[in-house]
Amino acid sequence: MTTISVGGTTLNNLNMVTSFTAGNSGTTPLGIPLNDIALRNTSASLLITGISQTGMSQTADGMIGGNIFVSTSGTLNIGGGAVDASSGHGNIFLTAGSSINEMTGGTVSGGVLTTSSVGGTMLKNVNTVSR
């Protein structure tokens, strides 16, 4: 599945995809929901081939970068492209019912990276996160 959005992508129902590529840009004004990319998935394996999050949201405290949320019931693989929220210092949240694996060409860049997995997390490439 490939999504391109201005203002955010929220796919929080029970989706069943094996591959995910997403791009989001633009700025949401004060009072509009945050400018995030979110996928909730139920397949046995999900391959992220690239997520580019350059969207920003205006809040009472100023501008903040959009976040990335990916949750899958099975294995989460990152390969062939970056999971990148670094332009706005957005945070990245990855959750897997099995393991999280970084494959050749996969990287993670952004603010805070939070992972949760049952089978372990292997991020072996050059990644750039603040925490």
Tens of pLDDT, residue by residue over 113-128, are 999 999 999 999 999 9
> Greater confidence, 62 or 123?
123
Write down the pTM of the prediction. Answer: 0.95
Q: Which two tokens stand for residue 74?
A: 């099975």
Longest alpha-carbon distance in the chain: 40
What percentage of the chain has pLDDT greater than the value 70? 100
Which amino acid, one-letter code, is at 95? T
Q: What are the sequence ranges of the domains in the chain? A: 2-124
Is 80 exceeded by the pLDDT of residue 131? no
pLDDT digits (tens, 9 = 90+) for 65-89: 999 999 999 999 999 899 999 998 9
Strands (E), 73-112: 75-78, 82-84, 92-96, 100-102, 107-110
d(CA 42, CA 93): 16
